[in-house]
Amino acid sequence: MSETVIGPAMSRAPKQIPSIPGVSAPDPCTIVIFGATGDLAARKLLPALYGLWHGELLPSQFAIVAVGRRDKTDDEFRNEAQDSISKFRHGAPKSADGWPQFLSHLFYHKADFTTAEGMQGLAQRLDQIDGQLNLPANRLFYLATDPEYFGPAVERLHGAGLVRREPLRPWSRVVIEKPFGRDLATALALDHHVLRYLNHDQVYRIDHYLGKETVQNLLAFRFGNAIFEPLLTREYVDHVQSTTAETVGIEDRRGAFYDNAGALRDVVQNHMLQLLALVAMDPPATLRASDVGLAKLNVLRSLVPIRGDDVDKYVVRGQYGPGLVDGKQVPGYRQEVAIAPDSVTEPYVALRAKIENWRWAGVPFLLRTGKRMPRRVTEIAIQFKLPPLRLFQTVECEGDVCDLREAQPTVLAFRIQPNEGISLSFSAKRPGMQFVLHGVRFDFNYSDYFRCELPEAYERLLLDALRGDATLFMRSDELHAAWDFCDPILEAWKKKPPADFPNYAAGTWGPKEADKLLAGCAAKWREP
Ligand code: BG6
């Protein structure tokens, strides 16, 4: 491995990252997208497929078949796909010349896939495309529809003979978008239904955070280096803060869905608990899907449920009123499109979780997510305990005024997005005649060290699903454990609607009340 220097100096950065031998290319196949005229397909899936094709990571023989209810010809769909990809993917060709080859792999099929006839029609069309492109009927079905169609779609796919448990070749796999259920009971029911028609290893439950390069790097940092891992225990760690903040409010097309979900279901149950599991888990036996899944599951199962009166103590929900974000006046949550004017849904939640296991007992894990916050940032900060003996003081300056204060704790922060990187803040002796400390930082920035764009999360996950690698997908028992943690909070909230919504102004870091969650920790909420 080549050595790189920690710090902003760029003198030894590698010029090019060599491609890794042994990464298998996917088999010739067809990718079928249900819900292909929706937002996710336009913003993420089609640009990601284009990116894979452009990076020569798709097989030379492939087809992408978009299934929707609207009337559309292949050509109309190809034009729309070109527009979306140009809008949402960096580096998409500007001129018409770059497009025909990729677009020739795209097809549109109109069908009501909730009916047997609709799915039969799709089966015939897929056979015809296989014949036309000489494809071997390996198929990846991507369910990017409204969640209520996940179960029926799998059942109809099976009815039309499009998914089979056997034979293993040609293969058929199904990617299911989030939300996977809206509580434990519905998640179990969906799993039960889906697994009547598919084997476990044919179901890919996606959480796009797991495809982010910086999230995968949590594993690399923790288990690819020997020196940090021994410190990540209750002996050294004071607390962990995980923040997923967004500046956006509720996009018009999502209002109805979001108002029925809220931040706990939309972000905590999946993205944030997955991040927590990756930060807190023990080393997996191998990097195989089953071993990584098991290591994460052990963390999720060790989360202490927050129920009854404890919900008021350890969980704070919030809803924004009007305010200023990026200098622009924005409406309050209740004034967003398709949101009920008296909605009690929470676009903000903060909570203090406990992981009751050997490694973490007694260490608070503080999770916070919200829309319309001052900055878009996802980070996990591990704050270490102060030294047992305070020999030093530090100098803190605000403007021209400097003050002597207690030494500051060491913080290891993983910046998941944006400005991707890792920093370690610690104390150093300030030059001078006295022994006082000053806060300094080791900083690793992806942009300094790796002179390439970070791969898009959906590119990585689509590629893995095409290759049959489920390591970065969620196992059903992980999902169930995550719902197990969230359900009692949702129940307590249902019994006691919030009396004070809206309780923070858009463009601020959320309700003041969340400060109480840090009781006993040597810190405030970070403002990353
Ligand atoms: C989605 C949520 O899963 O993640 C959205 O449904 C949220 O509400 C989004 O905005 C955030 O993803 P990212 O990758 O922009 O952090």
Give the percent of the chain with pLDDT over 90. Answer: 80
Determine the average pLDDT of the residues in 216-242: 96
Q: What is the pLDDT of residue 10?
A: 39
Distance CA 117, CA 176 (A): 22
The Å distance, Cα 272 to ligand 1 centre, comes to 11
Q: What is the pLDDT of residue 3?
A: 41
Q: Give yes or no for residue 246 CB within 6 A of ligand 1.
A: yes
pLDDT at 334 over 90: yes
pLDDT tens profile 378-401: 999 999 999 888 887 776 777 777
Least confidently predicted of 24-28, 226-230, 480-484: 24-28
Q: Is the peptide bond prior to 488 cis by the omega test (within 30 degrees of 0)?
A: no
Determine the average pLDDT of the residues in 417-421: 94
Q: What is the pLDDT of residue 392?
A: 78
Q: What is the pLDDT of residue 23?
A: 64
Give the pLDDT band of residue 8 (cuts 50, 70, 90): very low
Distance CA 20, CA 4 (A): 19
Q: What is the pLDDT of residue 247?
A: 97
pLDDT at 92 over 90: no
- Choose one of 176, 178, 260, 271 to mutate for the ligand 1 pocket test, by most ligand atoms within 8 angstroms of C-beta: 271
Determine the average pLDDT of the residues in 521-528: 88
Residue pair 241/416 in contact by the 8 Å Cβ criterion: no
pLDDT tens profile 9-48: 333 343 344 455 556 779 999 999 999 988 999 999 999 9
The Å distance, Cα 43 to ligand 1 centre, comes to 12
Residue 136, token pair as written in the block: 């071997």
The Å distance, Cα 449 to ligand 1 centre, comes to 27
Residue 518, token pair as written in the block: 């840090």
pLDDT at 454 over 90: no
In the block, tokens 């909420």 appear at 525
- Choose one of 178, 205, 246, 379 to mutate for the ligand 1 pocket test, by most ligand atoms within 8 angstroms of C-beta: 246
Assign 506 to helix, strand or coil. Answer: coil
- pLDDT, averaged across the chain: 91
Q: What is the pLDDT of residue 15?
A: 38
Give the percent of the chain with pLDDT over 70. Answer: 94
Distance CA 249, CA 316 (A): 19
Distance CA 298, CA 282 (A): 9
Nearest to 260 by CA among 186, 322, 162, 159: 186
Q: Whose CA is nearest to atom 13 of ligand 1?
A: 209
Closest approach atom of ligand 1 to CA 246: 10
pTM passes above 0.95: no
Active site residues: 271
Q: What is the pLDDT of residue 369?
A: 98
Q: Give yes or no for residue 266 CB within 6 A of ligand 1.
A: yes
Nearest to 257 by CA among 373, 149, 109, 118: 149
Closest approach atom of ligand 1 to CA 244: 16
pLDDT at 336 over 50: yes
Q: What is the pLDDT of residue 390?
A: 80
Q: What is the pLDDT of residue 22?
A: 54
pLDDT tens profile 289-300: 899 999 999 999
Determine the average pLDDT of the residues in 451-470: 92
Distance CA 217, CA 214 (A): 5
Residue pair 489/306 in contact by the 8 Å Cβ criterion: yes
Q: In the Cβ-directed half-sphere of 424, how many Cα atoms lie within 13 Å?
A: 9
Q: At 197, which amino acid appears? A: Y
pLDDT at 343 over 70: yes
Residue pair 323/333 in contact by the 8 Å Cβ criterion: no
The helix-helix angle for 213-223 and 457-467 (nearest 10°) equals 70
Distance CA 180, CA 190 (A): 8
Determine the average pLDDT of the residues in 459-476: 95
The Å distance, Cα 209 to ligand 1 centre, comes to 9
- Choose one of 176, 182, 208 to mutate for the ligand 1 pocket test, by most ligand atoms within 8 angstroms of C-beta: 208
Q: Whose CA is nearest to atom 6 of ligand 1?
A: 266
Distance CA 26, CA 463 (A): 7
108 or 404, higher pLDDT: 108
Q: Whose CA is nearest to atom 8 of ligand 1?
A: 266
Contacts of 226 (CB under 8 A, 6+ apart): none
Q: At 377, which amino acid appears? A: V
CA dihedral 36, 41, 42, 46 (to 10 degrees): -100
Q: Whose CA is nearest to atom 7 of ligand 1?
A: 267
Distance CA 144, CA 131 (A): 26
Q: Give yes or no for residue 80 CB within 6 A of ligand 1.
A: no
Query: Does an H or E element contain 467, and which?
Result: helix 457-467
Determine the average pLDDT of the residues in 235-249: 97
